[in-house]
A and B are shown apart, each in its own frame.
Chain A
Amino acid sequence: DIQMTQSPSTLSASVGDRVAITCRASHSISTWLAWYQQKPGKAPKLLIYKASTLETGVPSRFSGSGSGTEFTLTINSLQADDFATYYCQQYDNYWTFGQGTKVEI
């Protein structure tokens, strides 16, 4: 099984900040990585796939990078609507998710 580890678990930030979330895979997954955003009481929403491709309709302040075992989700100029929990997911070998990073005020 491929394990996914996110850091930090919680991130405190302010509107306008630039934030970065890291996701590490236990084995190389090339760029078979997606990022999802989840708000309380809602289903996860796809933000980025193939490590760096923005899903249609997702604001350009979101970006993804990385390959192999280390990946980063960056949010430039954090907006109030961005306070949520973010998950990475590998889809190289079945599907596993990171434990989540909560971005809070």
Chain B
Amino acid sequence: EVQVVESGGGLAQPGRSLRLSCIASGFRFDDYAMHWVRQDPEKGLEWVAGINWNGGSKGYADSVKGRFTISRDNAKNSVFLHMNSLRAEDTALYYCVKDVGGDYVANYFNHWGQGTLVTVSS
């Protein structure tokens, strides 16, 4: 059974940093691209960042470019989201999401974790 489990969310002050982690199981992790998608009641679902199967290709939404970094460790079946210079508008539930393919190209998502909540507030 495919499982994707996020951790690392919490309360952070504006301007500070957080690192989200995601550990996956039930599939050959290094065959697939992975993404982070966030959700809040105001803005709905927003793709944040994606990384291809070997970490050689990455992409970011304009809203986080230059502040967030996605990375992966295939030996540990893990993907990470390093979030710097956090803003109030980054407050959301962050999902770790499995792509159906390995390359960082247009594909859809077939497995989502349960999410980890990030709150940015002073």
Physical interaction between A and B: yes
Residues of chain A whose beta carbon lies under 8 Å from any beta carbon of chain B: 1, 32, 34, 42-46, 49, 55, 87, 89, 91-100
How many angstroms from the CA of A55 to the CA of B121 in the assembled complex? 39
Contact A43 to B106, CB < 8 A, known contacts A87-B45, A94-B47, A97-B46 = no
**Are A43 and B109 closer than 8 Å at their CB atoms?**
no
Mark contacts of B91-122 with chain A using CB atoms, 8 A cut-off: 1 yes-contact digit, 0 otherwise. 00001000010000011111011110000000
Given the contacts A34-B108, A92-B106, A93-B106, A43 and B47 also touching, CB distance less than 8 Å: no
- The reply to whether A55 and B110 contact each other, CB–CB distance below 8 Å, is yes
Cross-chain contact B106 with A32 (CB below 8 angstroms): yes
A49 touches B108 (CB 8 A): yes
Encoded as 1 (CB less than 8 Å from any A CB) or 0, chain B from 39 to 73 comes to 00000111100100000000101100000000000
- Asked if A94 and B59 sit within 8 Å, CB to CB, the answer is yes
The complex places the Cα of A96 from the Cα of B106 at a distance, in Å, of 11
Most buried by B among A49, A89, A91, A96: A91
Q: In chain B, what residue has the closest Cβ to A96?
A: B47
Taking CB as reference atom, which chain B residue is nearest A98? B44
Cα distance, A92 to B108, chains bound together (Å): 10
**In the bound complex, do residue B110 and residue A43 qualify as a contact, i.e. CB atoms below 8 Å apart?**
no
- A86 → B minimal CB distance (Å): 12
Which 6 A-B residue pairings sit nearest by Cβ, starting from the closest?
A43-B112, A97-B45, A95-B47, A34-B108, A91-B106, A49-B108
> What is the CA–CA distance of A93 and B57 in the complex, to the nearest angstrom?
15
